[in-house]
DNA sequence: ACGTTTGCGCTTTAGC
DNA sequence: GCTAAAGCGCAAACGT
């Protein structure tokens, strides 16, 4: 079998793995939508919920960034 | 137990389900990145690969639209 | 003068306004780079500085998001 | 006054200069958005406009690369 | 100087 | 239909 074919097959496999993963990702995104719909059906305000999720994510990021900054300080000051 | 507490618990569960799903989604996105990295390590150009994935997605979408249109025609014409 | 020409002139003016603004934006981005360079020349660690700027921006966003969420609560509960 | 304080003050000034510049940058980005909105209100398709701006920027960039190459040749040949 | 990695801006999509 | 947020691609910045 020619080398070109091997390479083409390998590339094809990479592409297919990516496409499979992206399908999974989309499926999960749909699940998220479903949860919001279910919450809405139970009388919750989705706009508020989205704001809460966003805020909590932001707080997590801030916390992680603070830790990272501390690490950066240590490195910059040569502490260990 | 007060109704407010029940509602708060339920809301909390919805939020947690969403956050869990978003973590899964992020994990898959990371996997996609890994596949691109692996492909790059095997000598493939990731930018081109991304273009291919995008194109194939578009073609899939176009194909689905064509199928939908065909269905519409069938229904309109009473064919089955 | 034809209408088509008028429209073309108007579009051209919009495009040029945008391009002018984008040049200004780029100039400011260059200024930011210069400040980092100057700080580096004064012995400061730019990586740490960037982390600080990023953290402060994140904290500002978190604060704004908290305010927005509070507003959303008020609206959702019909408070005013 | 301690040296540490001086350094802290100087660092603080650098950070504030950067933050001020980034605010200006954001203000200009908002102006750009406004121009697109105004163009849209006048019946123009913003997506197409963005494509035009992108294309012209690319052409400018290509032109600059050509100029730079010419300069390189001049230097290499000792022409002036 | 180059390659890798991360941050930033843009585009597109989803919600209202 | 418009506004806003999420995802993606690119480019600059860091480390080797």
Query: Is the model's pTM score more than 0.75?
Result: yes
Q: How far does A72 lie from chain B, in Å, by closest CA?
A: 24
As given in the structure block, the two tokens for residue B11 are 């809301």
**Confidence band for D1, pLDDT divided at 50, 70 and 90:** low
Q: How far is residue B14 from each of residues A34, A42, A61, measured CA to CA in Å? A: 11, 10, 21
**Do the chains contact at C28 and D21, CB–CB below 8 Å?**
yes
Write down the pLDDT at residue B58: 86
Q: How far does A28 lie from chain C, in Å, by closest CA?
A: 26
Residue scoring higher pLDDT (D46 or D62): D46
As given in the structure block, the two tokens for residue B29 are 């996105």
As given in the structure block, the two tokens for residue D23 are 């605010």
Q: Determine contact, residues A66/C55, Cβ cutoff 8 Å.
A: yes
Average pLDDT, chain D: 90
Instruction: Note whether C18 contacts D: Cβ–Cβ < 8 A.
Output: yes
Write down the pLDDT at residue A80: 66
Q: Determine contact, residues A48/C75, Cβ cutoff 8 Å.
A: no
At C9-32, the pLDDT tens digits run 999 999 999 999 999 999 999 999
Phi, psi values for residue C73, rounded to 5°: -60, -50
Q: Which residues of chain B have pLDDT under 70?
A: 1
A-chain residues near B55 (CB < 8 A)? none
Of residues B74, C15, B61, the one with CA closest to residue D51: C15
Write down the pLDDT at residue C1: 60
Write down the pLDDT at residue C48: 95
At A11-66, the pLDDT tens digits run 999 999 999 999 999 999 999 999 999 999 999 999 999 999 999 999 999 999 99
At B23-35, the pLDDT tens digits run 999 999 999 999 9
Write down the pLDDT at residue A76: 84
Least confident of C11-20, C34-43, C55-64, D57-66: D57-66
Name the residue closest to F9, CA to C1'.
B47
Closest chain B CA to residue A23 = B28
**Do the chains contact at D19 and C53, CB–CB below 8 Å?**
yes
Residue C80 confidence (pLDDT) above 70: no
Q: Determine contact, residues B39/B46, Cβ cutoff 8 Å.
A: yes
Distance CA C54, CA D14 (A): 14
Residue B39's Cβ-count burial label (10 Å; 0-12, 13-18, 19+) is buried
Residue D71 confidence (pLDDT) above 90: no
> For the stretch C51-78, what's the b/e string if a residue is b when 16 or more beta carbons lie within 10 angstroms of its beta carbon?
bbbebeebeeeeeebeeebeebeeeeee
**Confidence band for C77, pLDDT divided at 50, 70 and 90:** confident
- Average pLDDT score over residue span D20-46: 96
With an 8 Å CB cutoff and a minimum of 3 pairs, decide whether chains D and C touch. yes
Write down the pLDDT at residue A1: 60
Domain residue extents for chain B? 1-44, 45-80
At A51-80, the pLDDT tens digits run 999 999 999 999 999 999 999 998 888 876
Distance CA D40, CA D49 (A): 10
Closest CB to B31: pick one of A21, A31, A32: A21
Q: How far does C3 lie from chain D, in Å, by closest CA?
A: 14
Instruction: Note whether B13 contacts A: Cβ–Cβ < 8 A.
Output: no
Q: How far is residue D20 from each of residues B40, D14, D29, measured CA to CA in Å? A: 40, 10, 14
Write down the pLDDT at residue C18: 97
């Amino acid at each position: 079998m020619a080398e070109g074919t091997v390479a083409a097959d390998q590339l094809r496999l990479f592409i297919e793995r990516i496409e499979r993963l992206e399908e999974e990702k989309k499926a999960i995104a749909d699940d998220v939508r479903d949860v919001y719909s279910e919450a809405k059906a139970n009388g919750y305000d989705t706009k508020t919920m989205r704001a809460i999720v966003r805020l909590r994510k932001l707080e997590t990021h801030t916390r992680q960034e603070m830790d990272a900054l501390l690490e950066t300080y240590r490195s910059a000051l040569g502490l260990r």
